[in-house]
Amino acid sequence: MIVEFRTYRLTPGTGEEFVRVMTEESAPLQAAAGIAVLDTGVSLVAEEGHTEAYLIRAFTDLSTYKQLEEDFYASEGWRAGPREKMLSMIESYHTIVMETDERTVAALDKRG
């Protein structure tokens, strides 16, 4: 299994809206595209006074990760949907992708 941890430095005052859009608009589109969004939220600690958010996603393997990401970000649903709204709230982001096991993925999964 592959887990992706993505962190976002957000523009001031956008944390709640960013998580709402991620949860209500982007995550369902990603799920429909075969991407498992395990969790998203705002960091409990503001790094250097900045609001930070996170996204945790899982994939079966690295080639699937690359293909699903490419397909999703090129999709009409993303491009005509929440893309512009979300990008307007992001100052910067960072991604880490790592290999793990199904037990770890299950422990990170907050979908229910």
Distances (CA, A) of 61 to 22, 45, 65: 23, 31, 6
Cα–Cα dist 51/47, whole Å: 7
pTM of the model: 0.93
Averaged over 68-72, what is the pLDDT? Answer: 96
CA-to-CA dists, residue 70 to 37, 54, 59, 101, 112, angstroms: 16, 20, 13, 24, 27
Asked if the 2-108 domain carries CATH number 1.10.287.40, the reply is: no
pLDDT of residue 46: 84
Mean pLDDT score, 64-70: 96
pLDDT digits (tens, 9 = 90+) for 87-112: 999 999 999 999 999 999 999 999 87
Q: What is the model's pLDDT at position 49?
A: 82
Q: How confident is the model at residue 88, as a pLDDT?
A: 97
Domains of the chain, by residue range, sit at 2-108
